[in-house]
Amino acid sequence: MKSPFAAPDYRDPQFSSAVITWQKQHGRHSLPWQTDDAYRVWLSEIMLQQTQVAAVIPYYQRFLQRCPTVHDLAAAPSEDVMALWAGLGYYTRARNLHACAKQVVERYQGRFPSDPALLQELPGIGRSTAAAVAAFSYGTVAAILDGNVKRVFARVFGIDEYPGKKAVEDDLWLRAQALLPAQDIAAYTQGLMDLGATICIRNQPHCGDCPLQQRCVAYASGRTAELPIRKPKKAPREKHAIMFLVQAGEEILLEQRVDSGIWGGMLSLPELYGMREGLLSPSEQGIHPDPYLLEQESAVQTWLAQFGEIESVQSLPVWTHVFTHFKLFAHVVHCRLMRKPHLLAESSLNWVKLNQASNLALPAPIKTLLNTF
């Protein structure tokens, strides 16, 4: 007798057969990273995390021009890696990318392992990414479960709970594992990705072109707009930061940020205190002059005192930037100096030419701000 505690049997060979046949006939075959070169596959998989294909392609090509092999990437200075990544977002990926390249060179002589379990031991590589790299590069039979695949599964199988919930995600992994084909793993893996990216899209999916339409619960019940269940929304946290745009002639002062945290390892405008939460409500932002700067006036003056003679100081309009988990209100102080100091108290501060700043590893919002000067 079958145990009531046994895992459900989700095996269905016709599922993978339908995906593989569709992919070979209608899937994507000209993406620049469609190769069995593990370095290129891995690079693309990291870049494609939470980022659209169209946005990734120019960054991918730029990386390969500068770092054509994992050895080149491992040997590159961290500031070069961050500059290549600047604008792609989620900068922890870039730091992990660099660390991973170094470990592949040190531990595996520059050859990515074919075992997904070993790949998962490397920085920035999770279970789904490890499976994709192994499948495309070595033909290893392993299951992927990225955001697009979760959406496909949620609709096809009529999953009525949020896919990010632990129990639901565990069940989806069981399905992903059970549905794996015995062969053609690369075509199957690419097929799932292609379905999620081009057919079973978030809004108005193209169900008429889907090879899984006849077995899709969401399609049969008219619930494609409802599934997958959305993540319960939370009000975004708010953080505030005082930033200094210090200018001496045609040069500005930039700060090398610490490796951890937001924009870690990148150059940015110097900050007072760093990003802090809950100090002003959004309704107060329209008051002029900036009430936050008035509240912190003493601290601002103390920070500026290190530069000696100051020609002018003014507050710029508050600008906002939305991150994944919070909304940043940046209060920028523009300070013009009479002359550039020879010595600075903090070694993390550096003078750079304003007209060269756009070529540096700066966060996109900072580049946008500097382009107005």
Q: Residue 353 has what pLDDT?
A: 93
Are the C-beta atoms of residues 147 and 195 closer than 8 Å to each other? Answer: no
Q: Residue 269 has what pLDDT?
A: 94
Q: What residues are annotated to the active site?
A: 45
Helix spans in 52-206 (H): 53-66, 70-75, 78-85, 92-108, 116-119, 127-138, 147-156, 166-178, 185-194
Q: Residue 280 has what pLDDT?
A: 38
Describe the chain by its helix, strand, coil percentages, rounded to 5.
Answer: 45, 15, 40
Q: Residue 284 has what pLDDT?
A: 37
Handedness of CA 271, 275, 276, 282 (dihedral sign): positive
Domains, in order of start, for the chain: 13-220 (1.10.340.30), 237-370 (3.90.79.10)
Q: Give the C-alpha separation, 263 to 366, whole Å.
A: 11
Q: Which one-letter amino acid corresponds to residue 280?
A: L
236: CB partners within 8 A, 6+ apart = 322, 325, 326, 327
Q: Residue 360 has what pLDDT?
A: 85
3-state secondary structure of 246: strand
Q: Residue 276 has what pLDDT?
A: 55
Q: Give the C-alpha separation, 220 to 223, whole Å.
A: 8
Are the C-beta atoms of residues 172 and 150 closer than 8 Å to each other? Answer: yes
Q: Residue 315 has what pLDDT?
A: 87
- What is the block-wise mean pLDDT of the chain (373 residues), using blocks of 10 residues? 64 97 98 98 97 96 98 96 91 95 98 98 98 99 98 98 96 98 98 98 98 98 97 84 92 87 86 59 41 77 86 89 86 91 71 88 88 81
